[in-house]
Structure 1
Amino acid sequence: MKKKRIMITSTLVAAALSLSALTAFAAQDNSGNQTPQAPVATTTYKAQENKNTLFQYSTINALMKGQFDGEMTLGELNKHGDTGLGTFNGVDGELTQLDGKFYRYTYEGRMVEVDKKELTPFAVTTKFQVTKTARINPVKDMTALNEQLTKLIDHKNNFYAFKIHGTFKTLKTRSEEKQHKPYPTLPEVLANQSVFETENVTGTLIGFYTPNYAATLNVPGFHYHVISDDKTKGGHVLNISFDAATVQIDEIANLEVNLPQTHEFHDADLTTVDPEDVHKVETDQK
């Protein structure tokens, strides 16, 4: 069956989304209430006239409702970008895409490179273009990291991708166990997630920023996965600290959404997801 695509610019996304979802999450950006500390040694490059595109398969609301079977292969996804994150069919672990390769961090805590024939029910990717770099000040937790990155966002209604490389003093990540039909909801799955806490991990944080008005499409605010340089550690990031790191930033003005063409997607009511529930499952909030 032919897949359906939506190609929109960031300035048009807001008009397409429900006002209720926007209002429910208008003040939530995962960054807490502390006063932001500015990053240092920022160098700005000429933005590529904001031509870059964030490609997305399915929506966060569909994933929240337990739609864990997608039709898109990782090979297809790879045509649209080289840097991304998501999950696998059956939510079988956390997916991280780095330099065009795909990695699964399993429920048991193993990192494995994945064949591009595998399928995904939800993923985002972009052809990463550096529009700005910065040296980040010491970060004591996720809130402090989000504050510093927020200071580096020039246009809050655009999308952003980040690559942050450094040695992370503490790292708290998670993964989830493969599910079988009939599927539970994502919050039910993550009630039994595996949590891993490690120290002094050198690696790359892959992150995306989604404006709050797009809360029904993707995780609003910041969303990070990580992969260690030695390809042994990773997963969805719940918390992090480090003394210093370098961030590469890609400002993105276009969004392309490829919608699943399944009975589950067509028949689901995707308006009943509370953005606050998305925030809870994507953060370390209890």
Structure 2
Amino acid sequence: MKPQEWKLVLFLVVIAVAGVFASSSFYDIFAGNGGEGETLYQVSTLSALLEGVYDGETEIGTLLERGDTGIGTLNALDGELIVLDGRAWQVRGDGSVHAVDPAVKTPYASVTSFSPDITLDLAGPFDLPALETAIMDALPSENLPCAVVVEGTFTNLTARSVDRQESPYPPLVEVTADQHVFSFDRTEGTMVGFYLPAYLEGVGVSGFHLHYLADDWNGGGHLLGCTAERVRILLDITPELDLSLPSSGQFLDIDLSGDRSGDIAAAERGR
């Protein structure tokens, strides 16, 4: 995209956000819907996942009682989890998409009852960093977690998934070094995930953590990159965090101290 074209996109974003603020106070934007959809419910932490804590305690059925939109993984790190419109989907290591049985457990997941506070319609093309910049410009604060849903048409989209692991589990950075990457020349679908402030690094991924699911359920996974052609961005500010930690197993004995930013970056990118 040429510089002047990107400036036009940002101008449109500013106008859209200005319209939101003109009709609502700052409080109304993220808390004016009666409290519905304002809590991010999370199972375990990313730091624990980095250390190979892949055995889950929380069933998907229970997770769906706490939110209808979100991301995560499945027991034994069996692929990527996408929760959309109250349904849970698994993208396996071979790229195939499957509905998840409610009895299957998750070692790490984040969900919310999605109720968008901000809606933006943007026309590209623009890459993933530009899309993230547009979202950041629309947020009322960088210090509040936010659920992100992006619906639209994408080209040059890449996503990844990983194979189910066997105990004793290797660290996450070793698993993602052997990740499977899937490419889509042109696809219509939905990105789902969260923006987290920097102070929550280790609890989750600071910044953006997004998964993708194609509308025809023919692919998806952990989002690595894309070009967005025409999208609708839906943002749900979630100022309340409900963190459910494992009460047994490996989590109780592992060392979760220290800076894990390097490992998180490596696990996010993979090879």
TM-score by length of 1: 0.84
Normalized per residue, which structure has more helix? 2
Residue 229 of structure 1 pairs with residue 211 of structure 2: no
Aligned residue number for residue 93 of structure 1: 79
Aligned residue number for residue 205 of structure 1: 191
Aligned residue number for residue 258 of structure 1: 244
Aligned pairs for 1:186-201 within 5 A: 186-201=172-187
Over 3 Å counting, the alpha-carbon distance change for 1:242 and 1:67 in structure 2 is same
TM-fit CA distance, 1:117: 0.6
TM-score by length of 2: 0.88
**Paired residue total:** 252
Over 3 Å counting, the alpha-carbon distance change for 1:66 and 1:139 in structure 2 is farther
Contact 1:172/1:240, CA 8 A, preserved across alignment: yes
Give the match's secondary structure for 2:126.
coil
1:106 to 78, 92, 103: 92
Larger RCO (CA under 8 A, 6+ residues apart): 1
Aligned residue number for residue 170 of structure 2: 184
CA distance in 2, matches of 1:122, 1:217: 10
1:62 to 42, 48, 54: 48
TM-fit CA distance, 1:281: 1.6
TM-fit CA distance, 1:216: 1.9
CA distance in 1, matches of 2:30, 2:263: 35
Aligned residue number for residue 3 of structure 2: none
Name stretches of at least 5 consecutive residues in structure 1 with no aligned partner.
Answer: 1-33
TM-fit CA distance, 1:104: 0.6
CA distance in 1, matches of 2:7, 2:168: 45
Contact 1:37/1:147, CA 8 A, preserved across alignment: no
Cα deviations across residues 188-221 of structure 1 (Å, max 9, x unaligned)? 0011000001121000110200000010201110
Greater CA drift, 149-158 or 178-187: 149-158
TM-fit CA distance, 1:146: 1.3
Give the match's secondary structure for 1:242.
strand
Over 3 Å counting, the alpha-carbon distance change for 1:95 and 1:36 in structure 2 is farther
Over 3 Å counting, the alpha-carbon distance change for 1:137 and 1:271 in structure 2 is farther
Contact 2:96/2:218, CA 8 A, preserved across alignment: yes
Contact 1:86/1:122, CA 8 A, preserved across alignment: yes
Give the match's secondary structure for 1:277.
helix
CA distance in 2, matches of 1:228, 1:206: 11
AA matched with 2:104: E
Cα deviations across residues 80-135 of structure 1 (Å, max 9, x unaligned)? 10001000011100000001111011111101111111000000000001101001
Name stretches of at least 5 consecutive residues in structure 2 with no aligned partner.
Answer: 1-5
Residue 166 of structure 1 pairs with residue 148 of structure 2: no
CA distance in 2, matches of 1:54, 1:129: 12
Residue 146 of structure 1 pairs with residue 128 of structure 2: no
Contact 2:50/2:173, CA 8 A, preserved across alignment: yes
Contact 1:70/1:119, CA 8 A, preserved across alignment: yes
